[in-house]
Structure 1
């Protein structure tokens, strides 16, 4: 393989694929796809639809089975490092059999809670495979969430904290917090009656679901809806923003719930 494109393809809506991404995709001769199992075959279907819509040349798809890992480990860092090692070894074997220009399509953008770039660097560090690679940015789920809720992620002159559900439980809510990878509904453990939440699942997909409102008023609804969606599909991708109301500011928007697109 001479060159590899790592291409961000947005949060799920095929229209979020940028022109830069389309131009890069049309250079690719073989795409590498790390599968997530039968329950998440819909994710592969979305990638296939994007390729069908935008590719103007013949190409191959090499599917790689994602190795399993412990989702509730005592040593989180160590388990993830081992997982990345095994994933990178599978990619390395696939790269070794490919010729020409390769491509990997990444949900959202490769820079945010995605391991693709780390795995590619591990492959190159081992030295058996040598190739150039280029990263094409994509629309993140954070941007998609903000757009669908028509809101700004931070207040004027203030930061926004991007974190995970696990870290939210450990550190608590300090400023506006954008929370990803939360399989345990950690927002239910945030204390106080002054917190607002903007939640979204399957952003950009036909089953997109949005809920917004004061946290204490809507948290049970989110937990219930999230469980229902996950049971129906076998998987879920969701993200949310938490923010405390300013002291003395009772002017929050009313609860809103939306499902589908």
Structure 2
């Protein structure tokens, strides 16, 4: 029987790795570390660091693999993502078969938590043969962002909505909520909104040593965030950020 463990490792701080995650890492026969090109080599390096810090099982193999890249230019967004997930699933299956076969325990260290805007669970169900899947939850970027700003996400008795930058840009402010969490924003979708009465809490490289956080009235701090984001991306070659917007 093949078991695949998807292990949430938090957002960049090795101290966010839970005891349950450490136990599961040490129970693995094979740990896969995905590489996403030189621009995001920091992400693979963090996974290597975590393994070096917590892995004590000398029998565990660590194998790195290059993932297929989605070009993002397809007309049908959903189909393009599905095709990409199919290709990643084939890469996972081939790597597992080559290094472990069809029996044993495989682990993947997942940024944040596998349940929130992460494709690992959908890809795992494409594997051949289909493994038994277990999830070890991790600290999300939402939690890390709120902690960085000492911000309670929910107001008393009020809901909040988690969405993407693309949906915020295309659909505008979601009806029925005063608090919006925005993730997977390839740009600065908040610029498409009327800033009047909006407050923003923004963070990039959350949990990492060079974490950046800014907050304030959107009309005032929005341009500073745009400039800081551009400079950080040029410096590192990549950026992962998220933000919370509230009507006030």
How many residues align structurally? 241
**1:228 counterpart residue number:** 231
CA separation in 1, counterparts of 2:63 and 2:245? 39
Question: Which residue pairs with 2:77 in the alignment?
Answer: 76
- Of 238, 241, 244, 1:241 maps to 244
User: What residue in structure 2 maps to residue 108 of structure 1?
Assistant: 112
Alpha-carbon distance in 1 for matches of 2:233, 2:68: 21
Question: What does 1:66-215 correspond to in 2, within 5 Å?
Answer: 66-99=67-100, 100-123=104-127, 128-174=128-174, 175=177, 176-215=179-218
**1:107 Cα deviation after fit:** 0.3
Residues in 2 aligned to 1:51 and 1:203: alpha-carbon distance in whole angstroms: 20
The gaps in structure 1 that reach 5 residues or longer are 246-261
Deviation of 1:92 (Å): 1.0
Deviations 1:163-184 (A, max 9, x none): 1000011222232110001112
Q: Deviations over 1:86-141 (max 9, x none)?
A: 11111111121233321000000000111111011011xxxx41432211000000
Q: SS of the counterpart of 2:235?
A: helix
Give the whole-Å Cα distance in 2 for the aligned partners of 1:216 and 1:115.
34
Q: What's 2:3 paired with?
A: 3
- What RMSD over aligned residues (CA atoms) do the two structures have, in Å? 1.2
Cα deviation for residue 143 of structure 1 reads 0.5
Cα deviation 1:154-199 (Å, max 9, x = unaligned): 2111111101000011222232110001112000111141000000
Q: Give distance in 1, aligned partners of 2:20 and 2:13.
A: 16
TM-score (norm 2): 0.94
Query: What's the CA shift for 1:214?
Result: 0.2
- Is contact 1:95–1:129 with CA below 8 Å preserved after alignment? no
| Distance in 1 separating the partners of 2:132 and 2:79 | 29
1:60 has 2:51 as partner? no
SS in 2 for 1:103: strand
Distance, in Å, in 2 between the alignment partners of 1:152 and 1:62 is: 40
Cα distance in 2, alignment partners of residues 39 and 163 from structure 1: 26
SS in 1 for 2:113: coil
Distance, in Å, in 2 between the alignment partners of 1:2 and 1:98 is 13
